[in-house]
Structure 1
Amino acid sequence: MDVNILIVEDEKDIADLLEVYLKNDGYVVYKFHSGTEALKKIEQMEFDLAILDVMLPDIDGFKLCSKIREQFFYPIIMLTAKVEDTDKITGLTIGADDYITKPFNPLEVMARVKTQLRRYKRYNEKSQASVKERAEYDIRGLVINKETHTCTLYGEELTLTPMEFSILWHLCEYQGKVVSSEQLFEEIWGEKFLDNNNTVMAHIARLREKLKEPVRKPRFIKTVWGVGYKIE
């Protein structure tokens, strides 16, 4: 089955380079140099992964990412020449799954693409694996439903990225038990966890913001220092 990848990059040399590497690995590539052109294609078909440049001549990558997240849950990798943490946080907040700073090694981009596609495929397989699997958790007003991919807090729908949804669902599956950062990372991202990896911490922080968690006494996601996280 074809794997369709969207590239939106206004620098032609970079877009062409990514296209060559992706096609060499057997992916079907749809390449655009402006957000407006890409948006038309996004509305016509569903992709398996998108690579979006932040700085585009018309619609910036953040707006394009938000537009995709209104309908689709496939992985989004952001490209940027900037290195500010605020840009990275913005991208992750609106639904990006990964972030790569220019200049980059094309082989690193390919590794990130494969990782995100594995995670997305594994998530979809788990979602469709068995009707007997539990489809919903209701924890003191926090309701998360895997079949509809929705999450509400006291009746108000929360906008979660696919990563945030996966993390929250995983914690709910282990309700009352501590889940280590290593377990979360290797289960959700599908990669080997490194000691200096703060990815899980950053996503937990964003989840807590969306859950309007009190800083000192969070109601849902508890930190067990030196061990991991749990939902009681």
Structure 2
Amino acid sequence: MTFVLVVDDDPAILRTLSINLRARDYDVETAGDGRSALQIVDERMPDVVLLDLGLPDLDGVAVLKQLRSFTQVPVIVVSARSEPDDKVEALDLGADDFITKPFSIEELLARVRAATRRAGVENPGLTVDVDGLTLDVTDSRASRDGVDIHLTPIEWRIVEILVQHRGRLVRQVDLLRTVWGPTYERQTNYLRVHLGSIRRKLERDPAHPVLFVTEAGLGYRFAPRLTAQP
């Protein structure tokens, strides 16, 4: 399910967008100011952000700059500002699209679909190379420094889910439900055992993991950006 973060200081717009997005099976969270938006992103990376520029604390431009300092998540600016300079600035800073208020819901939804499609095209396949480790999730092949590593089918399924959501928190309940089914949502010990095995096989230092990271009480995150990059 595509996760959309809507950032706007107008409660009516938040409510309207939430209703329309959820009616089309999007997972939605809302934020009424920039700091709240950045906190949500830190806890759970969205698939697309709808960002107003006129926020009460951090200006939307400042939020966009902070987002682009660590993520390329698609950002669609939704703003009452209609001057060409505002659009140019937002796009130059890394916004993927700009739509002016008032707007058509159908047009906005089409732009959300387009943004998520483009993001998918930019990240084709599931292959990761980091710190000597190569993960070809599509073909279930792993190696470190040229030496093949064997993972079980369940381990590959967990790795696949985490890599698909790279950089984003995947909650325990979602992992359990996806890998084992809805009746296993409370079996968190399953995850501890299998993540322990995955780390022993894939981390350079399993006692201090930097790829498959635990968010205590919440879930897990595949976070290759925490390692040294070439």
TM-score, normalising length from structure 2?
0.54
Name the structure 1 match of 2:171.
none
CA RMSD, 1 decimal: 1.6
Counterpart code for 1:46: M
Name the structure 1 match of 2:216.
none
Distance 1:130 1:66 in 2: 26
Counterpart code for 2:108: V
Distance 2:128 2:72 in 1: 20
Name the structure 1 match of 2:116.
117
1:13-162 map, 5 Å: 13-125=12-124, 128=126
After TM superposition, give the deviation of residue 109 of structure 1 in Å: 0.3
Distance 1:130 1:71 in 2: 18
Counterpart code for 2:69: E
Distance 1:84 1:72 in 2: 27
Unaligned runs of 5+ in 1: 132-232
Counterpart code for 2:41: I
After TM superposition, give the deviation of residue 91 of structure 1 in Å: 0.3
After TM superposition, give the deviation of residue 87 of structure 1 in Å: 0.2
Distance 1:41 1:82 in 2: 25
Distance 1:8 1:27 in 2: 15
Q: Highest Rg: 1 or 2?
A: 2
After TM superposition, give the deviation of residue 129 of structure 1 in Å: 6.5
After TM superposition, give the deviation of residue 25 of structure 1 in Å: 1.3
Counterpart code for 1:90: E
Secondary structure of the 1:125 match is coil
Q: Deviations over 1:195-223 (max 9, x none)?
A: xxxxxxxxxxxxxxxxxxxxxxxxxxxxx
Name the structure 2 match of 1:11.
10
Secondary structure of the 2:6 match is strand
TM-score, normalising length from structure 1?
0.53
Secondary structure of the 2:88 match is helix
The sequence identity of aligned pairs, in percent, is: 33
Distance 2:75 2:25 in 1: 19
Distance 1:130 1:83 in 2: 40
Where in structure 1 do 4 or more consecutive aligned residues deviate above 6 Å? Answer: none
After TM superposition, give the deviation of residue 130 of structure 1 in Å: 9.8
Secondary structure of the 2:18 match is helix
